[in-house]
A and B are shown apart, each in its own frame.
Chain A
């Protein structure tokens, strides 16, 4: 039997009613190993205005580079209580902030290894289907050999790499249009 996937539709302006119960701003519970980091930024529309009715979801491996998912068959440790999921609604200024640990490297296509990254889904009113992007880490030598970053035109790669803002705080913005428009992926 072959079916077609149902069509996506926007979360609309009242997304919080259905989705806020699962808001998760601290992705790594106390006890999770790894380098702690806060990531903050803004979701900006084509006029540079913050999107106040948006939502960011994060999916990531733990610091060993292991996903808490049955299809990750790597012989690396899972950590109890580490789901790897974050859900962060934007505030009135379109800002979002979450804390986590830097993930370890996970395999890429073929024999490649990916640089540490977070997978991001972006939802908002005025968007009929969510967008997929990634957050990479600054000062990370493996970024140069990351199989997905390599597919991105060099001039746009910086949009996927968070910047140092303060000690253990990174800044990463989602720019929907214009100069510095964030790279979004089609998988």
Chain B
């Protein structure tokens, strides 16, 4: 009842703090580039105000219905193993996050990005740009069609290779629910050597970034499927019904 009284005064319920070990630190020496880019002063702990409890609202008008199919953006089909990636966006209370924007980007099947700074000696695919977006539906579900991204080398340390991954960017309902993460693939032998994956201290939290092979959503004779559920920050109390 106290929580309700608080909302009556115009105070919106706050978002919970992250559970210890589930988020990377800004300074993580095994990922060398963090060292010149992490704050050295402590963050200033601040109250959540209307400015952080709100955030940009996107709609179906911001995207095209075909933006979630990365295999249909060019004249021909991209080379690679076709995959369906789908899942739900939930909050920490297990509630669906409906109608929220999901952006993805990834390398092509040979591990190359069509980006001027990617110098990896692997072929570009004229039929693959590697970017997509969609909105979750009323139950927080999303679905992409793509090709399985390739692993690729990077210069963090000797013979460093990134495990196959798809970048995900999500907004959720507030500035505080903004999140960018990466989805990995089950059984990837590179995960145990990857500083980005290992930057999350809690083993279970880390493992939640690995998608699950998803028989149910495979398309016979056409595509394998992976399921990746994403959890955004949740609130201490449900806002008052209006």
Contacts and interface: CB of A to CB of B under 8 A. Distances in A.
Contacts of B24: 7-9, 128-129
Main secondary structure of the interface of B (DSSP, over half): loop
Nearest to B101: A22
Contacts of B25: 128
Interface string A142-156: 000001100110001
A5 B169 CA distance: 14
Interface in A36-89: 45-47, 49, 51, 53, 57, 59, 61, 67-73, 83-85
Contacts of B50: 67, 71-72, 106-108
Contact of A128 (B10, B26, B57, B133): B26
Main secondary structure of the interface of A (DSSP, over half): loop
Contacts of B180: 8-11, 123, 130
Interface residues of A, number: 73
Interface of A: 1-19, 21-22, 45-47, 49, 51, 53, 57, 59, 61, 67-73, 83-85, 106-109, 114, 117, 119, 121, 123-132, 147-148, 151-152, 156, 176-178, 181-187
17 contacts: A4-B22, A5-B232, A5-B233, A10-B196, A18-B104, A18-B105, A18-B131, A18-B169, A19-B103, A71-B53, A106-B50, A107-B10, A108-B50, A126-B31, A130-B180, A132-B175, A147-B49
Interface of B: 10-12, 15, 18-19, 22-26, 28, 31, 33-41, 43-57, 62, 90-94, 103-105, 107, 113-115, 117-118, 129-131, 133, 167, 169, 173-176, 178-182, 196-197, 199-200, 205-206, 208-209, 230-234, 239
